[in-house]
Amino acid sequence: MDSKLKSLIRIASHSGNWYDSDSSVLAQSFKNWLDKVAVVKEIKQLKGIIGPHAGYYYSGSTAAWSYANINPSCYDRVVLLGPCHYKGISACGLPSCNIYETPLGNINVDTVEVEKLSKLKNFVYVKKEDEEQEHSLEMHLPYIKYIFGEQDIKLLPIMVGSLNQKSAEYFGKIFAEYLKEDKTLFIVSSDFCHWGTNFDYMPYNSEDGEIWQHIEKMDCEGISHITNEDPEAFLTYLKDSKNTICGRHPINVYLYALKFSGLDTITKLVHYKQSSQVKTRKQSSVSYASIITYL
């Protein structure tokens, strides 16, 4: 491959580790997961989904509950918002690469919109090596490629850094304009509670039952603010609970985008799961949820 072309391609750096690198095996996994879920029948138009970004062994089946509701023929652009696990920024990161690789085929980046956003305040370019280290966006790419197949879809991938409320509102107003577009779909990447010594987060109230039940109650309280499309309440919840929701910043930008879009939307939890049911303080878990927004 030409070195110049190679420099423009974000390689599938987590392929073969976090998910299968064999395209036929990967496609069969998607089919199996999607075949087992129920779609939401009352959807007029799907505007966005929130889904997990853990290894597919843990979260692939949960992500299917949101992806199953996508009608690919309705869209020509996907805006993908994900958190930064490794690169510390207090802005929104734009891709340096023009093409995103998956085992199922490549996805073209919407370079026209990237260029437009680069001229706005608090948008910064992310280096190729930082793009490839981050998994929160990559874990959605094979799913996107599977759903859209050979359809010419443009991807606008955004790494959302640590934002205060004012910044979240600022970006929400910008992305509200994309949300209003009929043929643009939002995908927000987030896992929910990370509980255990590895995450330095172990709250527990025995009145809620076992530890896993406390975790579920806590997650569902946060999810209720998401389904109510209330960014301020979600921010207050995060401050009070300190819940380790890794995609809290992209979620809040998305909630502000919904608020400023003026669209009459419904946001609904369609599936929730924990990697394990924690019963002792020696155990740990990560929670996953699929949430959809539609007209």
Is 94 exposed, middle or buried, given 0-12, 13-18 or 19+ CB atoms closer than 10 A?
buried
Task: Judge whether residue 233 has pLDDT over 60.
Answer: yes
Mean pLDDT across 256-260: 98
Whole-angstrom CA distances from 209 to 135, 213, 219, 281 are: 34, 6, 15, 14
CATH of the domain at 128: 3.40.830.10
Question: What's the structural domain count of the chain?
Answer: 1
3-state class of 276 per DSSP? coil
Amino acid 88: pLDDT:
87
Whole-angstrom CA distances from 92 to 13, 78, 81, 82, 101 are: 21, 16, 9, 10, 22
Integer Cα distance of 195 and 284 in angstroms: 5
For residue 66, which phi and psi values (nearest 5 degrees)? -90, -40
Confidence of residue 6 (pLDDT cuts 50, 70, 90): low
Amino acid 5: pLDDT:
55
Neighbours of 179 (CB within 10 A): 22
Provide DSSP, 69-129. T--GGG-SEEEEEEE-SSS--SSEEEES-SEE--TT--EEE-HHHHHHHHTSTTEEEEPHH
* 139-175 tens-digit pLDDT: 999 999 999 999 999 999 999 999 999 999 999 999 9
Please tell me the total number of residues recorded for the chain in this structure: 295
Integer Cα distance of 73 and 11 in angstroms: 27
Beta bridge partners of 184: 77
Amino acid 195: pLDDT:
98
Amino acid 87: pLDDT:
85
Contacts of 245 (CB under 8 A, 6+ apart): 190, 191, 192, 193, 222, 238, 251
Integer Cα distance of 134 and 112 in angstroms: 23
Range of the domain at 189: 3-294
Task: Judge whether residue 257 has pLDDT over 60.
Answer: yes
* 62-104 tens-digit pLDDT: 999 999 999 999 999 999 999 999 888 999 999 999 999 999 9
